[in-house]
A and B are shown apart, each in its own frame.
Chain A
Amino acid sequence: MLNNDTGKHKSVGEGQEGKTQKDEEQKVQSQWVQIVSQVMEKVVSGTNMSTTIEFDDLEVDIPKAKGPDGRDLGGATWKLNGKVVWITEAHRDQGSI
């Protein structure tokens, strides 16, 4: 059995192996994206549904950064309190039968 972790048989078709590994990584990343996007789609695009995100004393440290002219933009602490609500509604298209 070929064990890819040990790097055995590396000299045989090394370029092809590298390509296969890259393909595998891309496939894995697309799986992650697929799972996250499916969950996000449910949250964002459900029809006739209200979705609420409530922030309660959420503290976010914004790190120091350099501006376009090399200026120091400084850091900050943001405190978030409140709700974001979005409601999705389905409407019949007037042009449809």
Chain B
Amino acid sequence: MILFGRKHLHTSESDQIVNSLFKILSSVTSGSIKLEVANQPAMKIEINTNDQVEGNDNNRTVVRLDLLEPTFFSVPDDQTGLFDKLRTAAEFAQKLTDNGITFSLLRKGKEAITLGEEARPSLSRIITKSNDIQVNSIKESAKLKNDFDDA
């Protein structure tokens, strides 16, 4: 069973993509990036950094990634399922929390999943076994999963 096995997409310590992503996230303090493809908005990233909190050396960074055209990011060859992705997200979210980062994933402006520092999971803790991943909307998360699977 993939959910409890070792086959999901781990984020290992030596994962260069994840490490590079954290370096970039810790360098950017504020602002936004928009991606348009064929004159259609495809993605928007908003980044805000709050001042340091007492007792914590890290700044608090909030990253909002809004997939305005999620089907553009579909990866039909991806063999991993929703549980695999959530397990991977749980490992990734732990790293986010350790670095004082909150990552919100939105679908067409609606919040789907929050990972990291400010995630406040309730029922999703049963699935992910993590305190660092919050499913804001099961409906939007399921839609995102379908968008990514579309060829």
Q: Identify the A interface with B (CB < 8 A).
A: 4-5, 24-25, 28-29, 31-36, 38-39, 42-43, 46, 49-63, 77, 79-80
Q: Does B38 contact A (CB under 8 A)?
A: yes
Set A28, A42, A55, A63: member contacting B72, Cβ < 8 A: A42
A-B interface pairs (CB < 8 A), number: 89
> Which A residues are CB-close (under 8 A) to B34?
52-54, 56
Question: Which stretch of B22-30, B99-107, B109-117, B121-129 is in the interface?
Answer: B22-30
Specify the main secondary structure of chain B where it touches its partner: mixed
Contact (Cβ within 8 A) A28 B37? no
- Pairs A–B under 8 Å by Cβ, sample size 28: A4-B6, A5-B6, A24-B6, A28-B10, A29-B14, A31-B79, A31-B80, A32-B9, A35-B75, A38-B75, A38-B77, A39-B73, A49-B37, A49-B38, A50-B36, A51-B37, A52-B34, A52-B39, A53-B35, A57-B30, A58-B31, A58-B32, A58-B47, A59-B29, A59-B30, A61-B29, A63-B27, A79-B31
Q: Could you say which of A34, A54, A59 contacts B77, with CB atoms under 8 Å apart?
A: A34
In the complex, the answer to whether A28 meets B77 with C-beta atoms within 8 Å is: no
Q: Is the CB of B31 within 8 A of A57?
A: yes
Give, as a whole number of angstroms, the nearest-CB distance from A50 to chain B. 6
Q: How far is the CA of A42 from the CA of B70 in the complex (A)?
A: 13
- B38: contacting residue among A31, A50, A63, CB under 8 A: A50
Name the residue on A nearest B73 (C-beta): A39
Given contacts A25-B12, A34-B77, A36-B17, contact A43 B35 (CB under 8 A): yes
Q: Decide yes or no: A32 and B15 within 8 Å by CB, A38-B75, A39-B75 being known contacts.
A: yes
Contacts of A62 in B (CB 8 A): 27
The minimal Cβ–Cβ distance linking A35 to chain B, given in whole angstroms, is: 5
